[in-house]
Structure 1
Amino acid sequence: MKKIVFLLFTFLTFHNSNAQEVKTLTYFQNDTLKLDLDLYLPKKKAGQKTPLIMFAFGGGFSGGERTSEKDFALFMAENGYAVASISYSLYMKDKDFGCGGILKEKIKAIQIGVSDMWMATGYLIKNAAKYNLNTSKIFISGISAGAEIGFQASFWNYSKMNLYQNNLPQNLKYAGFIGGSGALIDTKLITKTNAIPMLLAHGSKDATVPYGKGSHRSCPENASGFLILYGSQAVYNHMLGLQKDIQLITFCGGGHEFSGYLFHEGKKQVLEFVSNVMKGKKFESSIIVASDKTALSGKYLFCE
């Protein structure tokens, strides 16, 4: 019996390890900087192009690794989606990204990260045929700082904000955004024309990235690093006014520790979201409220 169990385990392990492949690619390089991405590819299907999910890790623009959400990438690849987990420039490394920092430096860190994301997107569009990618179905996602990259990359004007040579098609529009505890510089960036479906998760008492409109890192107005951001709730309300599709999972009383929920416990919700967007399904904008990572039944009607 033990032998049978062992053989079954070996078979399943071998099968899963061959259900997708991972390629490490250099998407940008100059004399001082080299940026890589890990491309997780599902098993190829003849004549079928693969949707792509771009992913940026969290870490306050000063730390973090592109391999941090490997389980999420493997899960999505096993279910038919390619995932590109990118490295990006950690401009705030050894600098203060908090209240004692410099506002212009904080904005620059975000702009550099966004430019890196655009560069990675353009690289994969250029090489789409080689990796069997569907360039009309590119999603963008991220955690914390990575979600800030994803938000801005989705709605900034890349012909004006891109710090590098523009390698993106003029008509690029991401298919959807999945964000954990991220924020926008200004919700007015989202219009009826450029709005895309979103799946967001955020703690209602997040002191690092505001849940609604608030100060980044809860900094006072007289702080040198004072920066107003518009978090998931503010984006939800704005999308509601535009009558555009958005789903927000709110963790009542939760802090920044819920930033990774969608990419850990909520992987199936992400899969359902991207699958529905792929099918062109319209869904009602909604807020799911929970007290913890396992209580997603809508028990709480609001957060105090």
Structure 2
Amino acid sequence: MLLGCCLLLFQAEAQKMQTLTYFRNDTLKLDLDLFLPEKASNTGFPLLLFVHGGGFSGGERQQGHSICKYLSQHGYAAATISYTLYMKGRKFSCDGVLSEKIQAFRYAVNDLWLATDFFLSNSQKYNIDVSRIFISGSSAGAETVLHAAYWNRDLMQIYGLKLPENFKYAGLVSGAGAIMDLNLITKNNLIPMMLFHGNGDSTVPYATAAHHYCPTDATGWLMLFGSYSIYNHVKELNGTVSLFTFCGGGHEYSGTLFEKDQQLILGFMDDVLAGKKFGAHNIIPTGKKNEKSAAYSFCD
């Protein structure tokens, strides 16, 4: 009897997640895992979309299960997506090809736009409030969400998809992310952002530097503006942004807040939906020191 009881509890727990195909054509099938709150909502659930890391060549959507489960327990719908791993079998390092690096960003961004369109088209079926869609990701996923929010969708689209012209994400959460051009972020398209990053990151720059800190003669040289540069730019625009700096931390901190201290992400989303404005820089000691982090006096 006890075994049967436990089996029923397991089945009830498992039913909270649905695996759905959000895009399919002749050559491509893309899935997502959707977590919905148990309690119904009269106004529709706010939604978080999560994009995993892995250098655009690896990783899996299950990396987002922890944050998605947590948010679904606090009134949010949350989905973690699979996307095109364009760099699989290609070099994403300094000796790679720049145009291929950019194409990797572009495919991932377009897949996130497809996932967004899936929920815009199926908002009633899953009870989603389309005015409250957040995007989030770690490492390559963070680079994806930053470009998804600020790239010109007409210019950078691949599949012929057009999201509504006036559509804007409610906010984004970026773990160790960066953007190719700060000028993409303007007063007109600015959305609330939560950024976290180790200032000793040698993969994705915390401030402004080349990807992997490649030398300027490298075939894969790509300038990136990381979390600290984005934070300062948004502050100049009088935007809503918070930055969590892991002093001395490397790229291993790219998923930290999605896996631990998840209440900080929940708090950010709650504050955004409540219309609160903020601009805090939060310094988090790690006990680590390295050459890159030594450049920032606020960690002394």
| Structures share fold, TM-score greater than 0.5 | yes
1:303 maps to 299
Give yes or no for the alignment of 1:169 onto 2:140: no
Q: d(CA) in 2 for partners of 1:16 and 1:241?
A: 48
Shift of 1:256: 0.2
Aligned 8 A contact 2:285 2:299 in 1:
no
**Correspondence for 1:205 among 195, 200, 203:** 200
Structure 1 residue runs of 5 or longer lacking an equivalent are 1-5, 294-299
Paired position in structure 2 for 1:40: 35
Change (3 A) 1:46 1:236: closer
1:140-151 aligned at under 5 Å gives the runs 140-151=135-146
2:283 corresponds to which of 285, 289, 303? 289
Alignment of 1:156 with 2:151, yes or no, is yes
State the shift of 1:72 in Å.
1.1
Residue 17 of structure 1: aligned partner: 13
Distance in structure 1 (CA, Å) of the matches to 2:257 and 2:162: 30
State which drifts further: 172-181 or 27-36: 27-36
When the two structures are superposed, what TM-score results if normalisation uses the length of structure 2?
A: 0.92
Paired with 1:287 and 1:15, the residues of 2 have a C-alpha distance of 43
Indicate conservation of the 8 Å contact 2:51/2:64, yes or no.
no
CA shift, 1:17, in A, is 2.2
C-alpha contact 1:123 1:167 (8 A) present in aligned 2 = no
SS of residue matched to 1:114 = helix
1:234-271 residue CA offsets vs partner (Å, 9 max, x unmatched): 00010010011111000111110100011011211000
Could you tell me how far apart the structure 1 residues matched to 2:110 and 2:10 are?
Answer: 38
What per-residue deviation string (whole Å, max 9, x for no partner) do you get for residues 149-206 of structure 1?
0000000111111111224111110001101000001111111111111111101011
Shift, 1:44, TM fit? 3.9
Specify the alignment match of 2:223 in structure 1: 228
- Residues 242-281 of structure 1 mapped to structure 2, 5 A cutoff: 242-281=237-276
Distance 2:258 2:41 in 1: 29
CA shift, 1:23, in A, is: 1.2
For the 8 Å contact 1:40–1:83, the answer to whether it is kept is: yes
Number of residue equivalences: 290
In 1, the alpha carbon distance for the partners of 2:213 and 2:261 equals 27
Q: Which amino acid aligns with 1:288?
A: N
Q: What's the RMSD between the two structures over aligned residues?
A: 2.2
Runs (5+) with no aligned partner, structure 2: 288-295
Give the TM-score normalised by structure 1: 0.90
What displacement does 1:279 show? 0.9
Instruction: Please identify runs of 4+ aligned residues in structure 1 that moved more than 2 A.
Output: 13-18
Give CA-to-partner distance per residue, 1:201-249, whole Å, 9 cap, x none: 1010111000001010111111100100000000001001001111100
Secondary structure in structure 2 of the residue aligned to 1:67: helix
User: Offset of 1:10 from its aligned partner?
Assistant: 5.9
Q: Which residue identity does 1:218 align to in structure 2?
A: Y
Partner of 2:97: 102
Which amino acid is 2:284 matched to? Answer: A
